Chains A and B, each alone.
Chain A
Amino acid sequence: MSEPILELRGINKSFGPVHVLHDIDLTVNPGEVTALVGDNGAGKSTLVKCIAGIHPSDSGEVLFEGEPVHIKGPRDAAALGIEVVYQDLALADNLDIVQNMFLGRERTKGGLLDETDMEQAARKTLASLSVRTVKSVRTQVASLSGGQRQTVAIAKAVLWNSKVVLLDEPTAALGVAQTRQVLDLVRRLAEQGLGVVLISHNMNDVFEVADRIACLYLGRMAAVVGSKDVTHGQVVELITAGRSGDLGIARPEAATI
């Protein structure tokens, strides 16, 4: 296995008196999909926000490509090549696909927007992800379906030569066919050598695309397992009880809080 692209060591995060993340360790490997699962309130979204720099962690170490880094804000994360695709898609309805993909990082020539260059780059990126369901890259996002929006949001993350893509429940609001579309896309991202972190509640999705599954339980990393080594039931137990047989955190009596 190649060197992990992103490595978290002992991440802690509190919101006031609430200790949300306890000593989280997590590695993300290039070319792999790491699923992050856990019950509501387990700290999945908080962990993603720590990585993305939206809520900087209180303590702990982050290594990116083996080098220790300090992520203090979203811009730091973006500069490293960490992109987040949020659950509530961060797309502007009144702009078209190209405009959305380049939002905040427009390419300019002599101070003016270089529309043709951006349009070509957007089409190349979509083509490289084998996205063919979008009629035209100049379509307004308002007139796209949920799956197409998700696709654009993911393609936006890929456009920036990012190395790690974090997807927060990308299939939560999608129908069957659209979920299929997005899962294929997630797989393709990993095939292109990116480190992918997928947050999902849907076990079918997780088992379909993930190489490894990281289970959070009440803010602790219960277990990180290979998706081929565990069964559906075991993961569900890890999510709901924090342990399953030999896997997971020790019995509550032994745990120190």
Chain B
Amino acid sequence: MRFRKRQRLVLVVVAMLLLSGATALILASLQDSIAFFATPSELAAREVEPGKTFRIGGLVVEGSVVREPDGTVRFAVTDTVEQVPVVYRGMLPDLFREGQGVVALGKLGDDGVFVASEVLAKHDERYMPREVSDALKEAGYWEEQEAETPQ
């Protein structure tokens, strides 16, 4: 019986150690590896610390896409109220188009330009990223036909 108790004690101690270790890891990494989402209006309204990774979403402004010879792409993202200039070096997703919804992950530079490390477009003709539709709703603008497309 004493043996059984000791066995249980060892198990509990190991399990507690593991769980506290995992919790510590989680807390440490949640500090700096989660990315908040901001709409262009929120960006304009409040200061976002430069150097912090976050995501922005909205529609690509018509006529704003400029492709530079070194492969860098510049465009602006809007929630129909405010605009944020974005610079991205890399390959854009297939469904990236002017006037369409995108979500970009990156950091805000000192010059107010959002430097994206990843750009996601909606992956299907039938809907747009949820963050984007929410951002548009918040800004009081929403493409009705997009919402009503039968699923």
A, B in one complex: no
Interface positions of B (Cβ within 8 A of A): none
Binding site for B on A (CB under 8 A): none
